[in-house]
Structure 1
Amino acid sequence: MASIKMNYVSAADIFRKLSSSTKDTELYRAVKEFGRLLKTHFLLHYMNDLDLRQRIEKQLNKVELGQSLSRSIFHGRGKRLYVGAKEDIERVLLCSTILQNIVIAWNYLYLSDYLLSIGDSEQRQAVADGISEGSVISWEHINMLGTYDIDHLEGPVFLASLQQMRNLKLRHSGQKE
């Protein structure tokens, strides 16, 4: 690693040598030990830093929430994708991803509309801070087994225009005005 850092050899050369050799070479064992050092350093930092642990846990919770949404959308056949043609599997996964994105986009639009309806700037900021601390991945308000007929909608669903939503200026938590 010092050779790479000091530009004596490129990382590509190291990887080329690693890929063409067996796992019992000194270079392979050295890179493996270096990886263990990095992992140990991270684990010690992780155990010592409460803020880091909380940030990682928050991100893991968001990932799990996204996976739960995926399972909720993919409700057919006991939430299992059985073997089929590759194209069919890809189509199912793509449709599931599109539906997840629709749910998230709907939530963003709804929350933007709600924020724009709040007249008091301090209250608006408090709601925005609450939204930023949480997640827009929510689907309890959506009937996953229902039939949707959007042909009979009368007028726009949201009160705010797209331009108004784009112009919505909020400060981030901790940011001074």
Structure 2
Amino acid sequence: MLRKLGTHNRKSLLYQAFRELGRVQRTLFLLKYMSSAGIRQNINAQTTKVEAFNEFLDWVSFGGPMVKSGDPVEQEKQLKYATLVANTVMLSNVADLTDVLTAMIHDGHTVTAELASRLSPYSRDHIRRFGRFVLDMDQIPKPLNPAPIPFPTST
């Protein structure tokens, strides 16, 4: 069966059957999508998250979203390096946001899961993209001490 599918022969009855099955699946999904506001909201939210990450990744890539080489290996390296930098910035942002939320709770403020869900690891207002950076390799940063945020439970 795999060999028949691997030939990409459009005249094959098996190919035609699977193509029709795919069309039925796509139609069923579109009908569910159109009839359910919840599904549309979920898909839109996930799409927005991906777009926000891609925009953040472009911002982190100092030259913008341009690819400087036609070599696939160099393109992959550029993407991996940019993703590494983006993930590092996001980790720092999440650690800082967690510290702030924990301090707010200790100060007596109510911090809900809904409030925390509206925060984004893609904030960049506090980041200096250009300029002089001095790295002190002898200074050891404090270790990350992740702890769950005690959100109030509603009963």
Q: What TM-score comes out, normalization by structure 1 length?
A: 0.73
Q: Distance in 2 between matches of 1:69 and 1:47?
A: 30
SS, match of residue 116 in structure 2:
helix
Shift of 1:154: 7.5
Query: Does residue 54 of structure 1 match 2:41?
Result: yes
Matched, 1:90 2:76: yes
- Aligned pair in 2 of structure 1 residues 37, 171: CA closer, same or farther (>3 Å)? farther
Aligned positions of 1:106-121 closer than 5 A: 106-118=92-104, 119=106
**Does the CA contact (< 8 Å) of 1:23 and 1:29 recur in 2?**
yes
1:124-143 correspondence to structure 2 within 5 Å: 124=111, 126=112, 128-143=113-128
CA distance 1:135–1:16, shift in 2 (3 Å): farther
Counterpart of 1:90, as a letter, is E
Residue in 2 that maps onto 1:67: 54
Aligned to 2:31: 44
Larger Rg: 1
Conserved? CA contact 1:46–1:52, under 8 Å: yes
Unaligned residue ranges in structure 2 (runs of 5+):
none
Residue 146, structure 1, aligned to residue 126, structure 2: no
- Of Structure 1 and Structure 2, which has the larger fraction of its residues in helix? 1
Give the C-alpha shift of residue 143 in structure 1. Answer: 1.7
Q: CA deviation at 1:15?
A: 2.9
Output the CA distance in 1 between the equivalents of 2:79 and 2:99. Answer: 30
- The alignment covers a number of residue pairs equal to 154
- Find 1:102's aligned residue among 64, 84, 88: 88
Distance 2:13 2:108 in 1: 63
Structure 1 CA distance, aligned partners of 2:30 and 2:97?
38
- When residues 32 and 86 of structure 1 are mapped into structure 2, their CA distance, relative to the original with a 3 A threshold, is closer
Change over 3 Å in CA distance of 1:156–1:74 after alignment to 2: closer
Shift in Å, 1:33: 0.5
User: What does residue 170 of structure 1 align with?
Assistant: 150
Distance 2:70 2:5 in 1: 37
- Across the aligned residues of Structure 1 and Structure 2, the Cα RMSD in angstroms comes to 2.8
Cα shift at 1:87: 4.2
Q: Verify: 1:28 aligned to 2:15, yes or no.
A: yes
Q: Quote how far apart the aligned CAs of 1:83 are.
A: 2.1
Contact 2:93 2:123 in 1 (8 A): yes
Q: Is the 8 A contact 1:72 1:144 kept in 2?
A: no
2 CA distance for matches of 1:22 and 1:67?
37
The alignment-based identity, stated in percent, is: 29
What is the CA-CA distance between 1:82 and the residue it aligns to?
A: 2.4
